[in-house]
Amino acid sequence: MYLGKIADTLAADNQVVVISATPNPDSLSADPRSNPAIVEIRNWSPRKSALVQRAAAVCLVAVRMFFSVLRRATSSDVVFCITSPFTLPYTVLLAAKLRGAATLLLIHDLYPEALEAAGLIQSRSFAARLIRSANTLLFRSLDAVIVIGRDVPPLILKYPGVKPDKLHIIPNWPLIPIGYQKIDPSSRFRAPDASKFIVGLSGNLGFTHSPATVFEAAKLLQSENDIHFILSGWGVGWRELNDLLAQEKLANVTILSPVPEDELIEFLSAADLWVIPYRRNIAGVSIPSRLYNLLAVGRPSVVASEANSEGALVLAEEAIGWVVPPEDPIELARAIREAARDRQATTEKGIRAVSVAHKYRAEAALALYRRVVNDVRRARMDRRSGQTS
């Protein structure tokens, strides 16, 4: 949804072609003369837990993207790429360079750091060193890099030859309307007892998250009769969480099926407090997208991460939640207990969160995307005109 909004915004000044590997029935009937125009390439999507097949799939889609960009890009274009899958920037931006196009990278997750934080590779492994070598060439050659949080630039600037003026910080924004949502005691999501203090966990739990931390915190809080957890989402982390709960039933935990988009506001509004549990060493590595929707409905959060991660910085600066060390269920349980014991103060944090959400409006972020892309295009045109004069 973020990329769709960005493409629509950039189309105000440019002819935009979106090359997508995500199946979308609407793209099959789209008018090729529309702006943005959508080009869909075939993609193979194995289960997230099938690591070997997924590795093959991300390499295959990167190769297909290379030829698709090589066929379409020209020297007057700006090629805008993202880091999902992580193999994509290397092939797409190589194709752009071969065509003489300007290049811009939007970093959602930073690799190899994300793979290291997930425990999939070691920091000194051949794979990690290979990715870092490729990143050195990649980051130096880009015309601009857009990152979501303030915790990312220090990691990128470690690469030799990367100039700070290439980096642009553009936060994400809420995907739902901004406005404080009062607790509705009749909400079905607050069952079985609406009077309890409800702690929520939702969304995609990937390799950079720690669902076990939430499970262990819930175990520590079993004796707190007024605290209950509601959990709903998808991804590899949810399979781990379900396995843990199958081994040891917790009476203070309710797991729900993934909540459909049209019920998201009601669901997010049902909890008094939300938890965002990261693994260690994710500062600058994984984006805090879910935080902005929580701000929008007026709910405080507990972010389990390093204090310099973007999500932790927002909560600490605005006094709208708690920051605890990653993978520390004792500290997470302590923060939840503190929030439950002073519900009025917790509610006040949520009310402040709504005012903070207005700082992250879509209009402001999209205006920055438009400016960065237009600046890259103008700089490229100025260089070309200088070379021909």
User: Residue 23: what are its φ and ψ, rounded to 5°?
Assistant: -60, 130
Q: Which long-range contacts (CB under 8 A, 24 or more apart) does 290-295 make?
A: 290/202, 290/203, 292/171, 292/172, 292/173, 292/174, 292/175, 292/357, 292/360, 293/174, 293/175, 293/176, 293/264, 293/268, 294/268, 294/353, 295/174, 295/178, 295/320, 295/353, 295/354, 295/356, 295/357, 295/360
pLDDT band at 207 (very low <50, low <70, confident <90, very high): confident
Q: What is the mean pLDDT of residues 251-267?
A: 93
pLDDT, position 363: 95
Tokens of 133: 């070598």
Indicate the pairing of strand 301-304 with strand 227-234.
unpaired
pLDDT per residue as tens digits for the range 350-375: 999 999 999 999 999 999 999 999 99
Q: What is the mean pLDDT of residues 45-51?
A: 60
Best CATH choice for the domain 2-173+361-388 from the list 3.40.50.2000, 3.40.50.20, 3.90.1150.10, 1.10.10.10: 3.40.50.2000
What are residue 227's DSSP bridge partners? 197
Q: Is pLDDT at 91 greater than 70 in this prediction?
A: yes
pLDDT band at 27 (very low <50, low <70, confident <90, very high): very low
pLDDT per residue as tens digits for the range 336-350: 999 999 999 999 999
Question: Where along the chain do its domains lie?
Answer: 2-173+361-388, 188-360
Higher pLDDT, 172 or 52: 172
Rg of the chain over Cα atoms, rounded to whole angstroms, equals 22
Distance of CA 306 to the CA centre of its chain: 17
CATH superfamily for domain 188-360: Glycogen Phosphorylase B; (3.40.50.2000)
pLDDT, position 56: 81
pLDDT, position 29: 44
By C-alpha distance, which of 127, 6, 2, 10 is closest to 374? 10
By C-alpha distance, which of 156, 146, 134, 115 is closest to 3? 146
Distance of CA 138 to the CA centre of its chain: 21
Q: What is the mean pLDDT of residues 69-76?
A: 94
pLDDT per residue as tens digits for the range 94-105: 999 999 999 999
pLDDT band at 111 (very low <50, low <70, confident <90, very high): very high
Distance of CA 214 to the CA centre of its chain: 20
Cα end-to-end distance, the chain, whole Å: 43
Give helix 211-220 / helix 329-341 axis angle, nearest 10°: 60
Q: What is the mean pLDDT of residues 116-130?
A: 89
Contact partners, residue 238, CB within 8 Å, separation at least 6: 205, 211
Higher pLDDT, 174 or 46: 174
Residue 108 identity (one-letter amino acid): H
CA dihedral 347, 353, 358, 359 (to 10 degrees): 160
Higher pLDDT, 172 or 382: 172
Q: Residues of the chain with pLDDT > 70: what percent?
A: 94
pLDDT, position 85: 84
**Helix spans in the chain (H):** 2-10, 25-28, 51-72, 88-98, 113-117, 126-141, 153-156, 211-220, 236-247, 264-270, 289-297, 310-318, 329-341, 343-357, 362-388
Q: How far apart are CA 145 and CA 212, in angstroms?
A: 34
* 188-360 and 2-173+361-388 share a CATH fold: yes
pLDDT per residue as tens digits for the range 169-195: 999 999 999 999 999 999 999 978 889
pLDDT, position 28: 45
Please give the full DSSP string across 15-75, using - where no structure is assigned: --EEEE-S--HHHHT--TTSSSEEEE-------TT-HHHHHHHHHHHHHHHHHHHHHH--T
